């Protein structure tokens, strides 16, 4: 119909996922400079539709976008939007949101998020199934049991199209760093419990709590500046500068040395990683929690200091983005 997105879109299918995420990893490493400069988001589809139950996860910065999209797309069950059916199935309180998963491992988003710090989102419809990766994982099973009529497959396509359109055409990239910073509170609390269990007297999370609070304050100011700018209009120069700064926020949590305890240089993101003991599981604040798990008190102190500085850097980027949006 002549629609031309404001941002380039790339569609890809990956080879050899089950053999170690080989296709997506090779792509990320081969095109890393372009992705680091301009990668806005990566939307992952893995096991997209094999039942009626919706679930989602990914970077906290994209969770509000996913909820908004789910609220716009009808659920095939006829019970309202995907979001409404999801809330009902999860039986969440009025003041809460359905739980979303954190980026762990085991799927093709790993290279984008764990290696480069590009925000990712992942969602799909699931259900009880015992056919995964077996000879019974067939067209017959799917058409008769998994998704008769392929309604949930089609709905995944609609939801993906809506998410892509919003990310491609938004004047300001719709990251939610208030939600991101709020998620960091939970990660900090978990790290605090792990440290407390060691009964160390020289390890404090004070700097981490303080710096993540600074980031949350900056995120709230950015949200106010963004909403005001969108209401009055934004100059092309201000828009470009703000978006370039926003794309660097989660890159601030990527470091070249990776995770020292597990000796994983490739896992550069220090907010979430695949657990070294279980590649499908997730570990939050891995640089700190791996040091605590190893019983290395001195390294734990250094990792807390490093991450605290990264929260302050992210806050500075958010402050700069907010200032650019206040410029007429």
308-to-206, 258, 270, 312, 313 alpha-carbon distances in Å: 9, 16, 11, 6, 9
- Residues noted as catalytic: 17
Contact 174, 40 (CB under 8 A): no
Contact 151, 51 (CB under 8 A): no
What angle in degrees, to the nearest 10, is found between the helix axes of 151-169 and 63-72?
Answer: 130
Bridge pairing between strands 53-58 and 42-44: unpaired
Residue 283: Cβ within 10 Å count: 25
Contact 312, 211 (CB under 8 A): yes
If we measure between CA atoms, which residue out of 63, 49, 43 comes closest to residue 161? 43
Contact 180, 59 (CB under 8 A): yes
Q: Which residue is associated with the tokens 């200091």?
A: 305
């Amino acid at each position: 119909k002549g629609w031309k997105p404001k941002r380039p879109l790339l569609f890809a299918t990956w080879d050899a996922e089950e053999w170690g995420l080989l296709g997506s990893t090779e792509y990320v490493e081969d095109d890393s400079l372009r992705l680091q400069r301009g990668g806005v988001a990566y939307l992952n589809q893995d096991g997209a539709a094999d039942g009626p139950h919706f679930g989602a996860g990914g970077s906290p910065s994209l969770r509000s976008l996913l909820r908004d999209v789910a609220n716009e797309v009808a659920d095939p069950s006829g019970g309202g939007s995907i979001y409404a059916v999801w809330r009902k199935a999860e039986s969440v309180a009025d003041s809460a949101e359905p739980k979303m998963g954190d980026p762990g491992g085991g799927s093709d988003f790993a290279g984008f998020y764990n290696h480069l710090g590009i925000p990712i989102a992942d969602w799909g419809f699931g259900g009880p199934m015992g056919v995964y990766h077996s000879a019974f994982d067939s067209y017959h099973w799917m058409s008769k049991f998994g998704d008769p009529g392929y309604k949930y497959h089609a709905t995944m396509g609609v939801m993906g199209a809506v998410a892509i359109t919003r990310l491609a055409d938004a004047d300001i990239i719709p990251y939610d760093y208030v939600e991101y910073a709020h998620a960091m509170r939970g990660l900090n609390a978990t790290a605090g419990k792990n440290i407390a269990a060691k009964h160390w007297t020289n390890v404090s999370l004070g700097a981490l709590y303080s710096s993540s609070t600074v980031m949350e304050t900056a995120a709230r100011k950015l949200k106010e500046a963004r909403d005001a700018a969108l209401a009055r209009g934004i100059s092309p120069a201000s828009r470009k500068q703000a978006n370039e700064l926003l794309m660097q926020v989660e890159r601030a949590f990527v470091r070249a040395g990776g995770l020292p305890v597990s000796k994983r240089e490739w896992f550069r993101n220090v907010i979430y990683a695949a657990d070294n003991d279980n590649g499908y599981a997730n570990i939050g604040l891995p640089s700190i929690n791996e040091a605590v798990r190893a019983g290395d008190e001195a390294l734990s102190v250094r990792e807390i200091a490093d991450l605290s500085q990264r929260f302050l850097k992210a806050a500075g980027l958010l402050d700069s983005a907010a200032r650019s949006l206040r410029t007429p």
